[in-house]
Amino acid sequence: MQFAMLKEKTDDNRKLIEDAKSELVECEEQKKELLEKLEAIRDKETASKQKLASAADDSTKISRTVRFAKSKVGRFLNSSVMDGLI
């Protein structure tokens, strides 16, 4: 009787160990997938930051060009044709 109970407990314990190992393997696989996704997200974030910095730089350059052009046009409009003839 006791032998049968011990055998059953041993079998149950082996099953628990196998299940726990299987769950561990599954967790490791999920963790690996998540780390790969995280790396992809970080790469995308870096690319987006670079695009943003480039676009902001372009915007600054465009704004300077527009201000310069407005200044030139303003000076041109403020000077009369007669000033050029005199």
Domain range list for the chain = 2-85
Q: Is the pTM of this model over 0.85?
A: no
Q: Which amino acid is at 3?
A: F
Would you state the pLDDT for residue 83?
59
Please check the confidence at residue 85 and state whether its pLDDT lies above 70: no
* Euclidean distance between CA atoms 44 and 37, whole angstroms: 10
* Euclidean distance between CA atoms 52 and 59, whole angstroms: 10
Task: Name the CA radius of gyration of the chain, rounded.
Answer: 37
Q: What is the pLDDT of residues 24-83, one digit of tens each?
A: 999 999 999 999 999 999 999 999 999 999 999 999 999 999 999 888 887 777 776 555
Alpha-carbon 43 to chain mean position: 6
